[in-house]
Amino acid sequence: MYESALARRYVAAVISEINNWHEVNEPRRIDTIYFGGGTPSLLSPAQIELILKAVRSGFEVVENPEVTLEINPGDGGTTPASKESNLRRLLELGVNRASFGAQTFDDRELKQLGRTHDSADISITFQQLRNAGFENINFDLIAGLPGQTLKGWQRNLDTALNLQPEHLSLYLLDVHEGTPLADQINCGMRPRPDDDVAAEMYAMMIAQVCSAGYEHYEISNFCVTGFESKHNTKYWSGDPYYGFGCSAHSFDGRGRRWANERDAMKYVAMIENAGSPVVERTDLQEEDARSESIFLGLRLMRGIDLRSYRVRFGDDLRDRYDGELGRLVEAGLIEIAGDMLRLTTRGALLSNEVFAALA
């Protein structure tokens, strides 16, 4: 539930954390800014402006950076006019990419997921973003929902492609134990997702979205050429990124990670008491760094540059995993072209098997 008083304290805490950032020997030149996690679109444009000012004051921000704001369908004001006014103001402030969780265009499925929006809100929000001047929009869809049919997934894809967003994130449902959906499935209230149907949905997704002119650049992500998520690509490429706010994660690009307190109230209290919000620090061991570089690098459909791997780790991945690579090639899950190792389309569907073989 949104609380305006807590929101004001939270924004002040985030700004304080940015202003007092003291990670030593970390470069301060940045080219992407991402407002994500939770519901950042509930903040007012004035509050977003304060955070952006702090970032630009504390870091060297390149000209025309990619600045993404995650929103929920229907967020942003009390009337259509005020929503569009807020969105135009965000665009003026430099927010130039919007991402929102459509999830599905089926109202029954949205209710099943516990979402507060309906399918009409998705189209309305998309049009409001266009009216405000946004030219880089992403939204998420989920395949393999309990009871979802191939025809239903086809309708989702058709509706999404008719809107013509610049970017689509299309995920297969991952049911996590302990969630309401997992509990409902376990007690028989919802049908268990069918893996074979999900595989057909994934194949349908790739064929239909690519035939519509989108580039399949990551296992679950598609874009109009030139509109890949620059920020998210940093995660898969092993580039450094710095996070501020509750539950924010950071990586120095060399093996050092740290994470902030997850609870918003505790995070605010830690900042207000002049303490660090960091609650976890990890230094990756070399073997973990190797595995992670393979796991993340193969998520990108361009694959892993074997020369770069050799320079970073001092040996040839082809020698280290000779037997495993041969079996994966024979199974049609990967291909090696020159110095690039990449997943095939079938390998993208069965990526967890590839990752396990190369762990």
The number of beta carbons lying within 10 Å of the beta carbon of residue 147 is 13
Residue 175 scores a pLDDT above 60: yes
* Mean pLDDT lowest among 77-91, 156-170, 274-288, 311-325: 77-91
Question: What size, in residues, is the chain?
Answer: 359
Closest CA to 312 of 242, 250, 249, 237: 237
State mean pLDDT over 166-177.
84
Residue 305 scores a pLDDT above 90: yes
- The dihedral sign for the CA sequence 147, 152, 154, 155: negative
Residue 164's identity, in one-letter code, is Q
Q: What is the pLDDT of residue 48?
A: 96
Q: Confidence class of residue 181 from pLDDT cuts 50, 70 and 90?
A: low
| pLDDT tens track for 12-22 | 999 999 999 97
Residue 4 scores a pLDDT above 90: no
Q: What is the pLDDT of residue 31?
A: 97
Across all residues in the chain, what is the average pLDDT?
90
Q: What is the pLDDT of residue 28?
A: 86
State mean pLDDT over 65-73.
94
Domains within the chain, CATH numbers bracketed:
28-237 (3.20.20.70), 304-357 (no CATH)
Greatest mean pLDDT among 69-78, 106-115, 216-225, 305-314 lies in: 216-225
State mean pLDDT over 22-39.
85
Q: What is the pLDDT of residue 173?
A: 79
| pLDDT tens track for 255-289 | 999 999 999 999 999 999 988 999 999 999 999 99
Contact 110, 118 (CB under 8 A): yes
| pLDDT tens track for 212-252 | 999 999 999 999 999 999 999 999 999 999 999 999 999 99
Place of tokens 């149907």: 197
Cα 137 to Cα 114: distance, rounded to the nearest angstrom: 24
Q: Confidence class of residue 310 from pLDDT cuts 50, 70 and 90?
A: very high
Higher per-residue confidence, 259 vs 144: 259
Percent of the chain with pLDDT over 70: 92
Contact 62, 22 (CB under 8 A): no
| Interior angle at CA 32, CA 27 and CA 35, nearest 5 | 115
Residue 94 scores a pLDDT above 90: yes
Q: Confidence class of residue 37 from pLDDT cuts 50, 70 and 90?
A: confident
Q: Confidence class of residue 205 from pLDDT cuts 50, 70 and 90?
A: very high
Residue 340 scores a pLDDT above 90: yes
Q: What is the pLDDT of residue 274?
A: 82
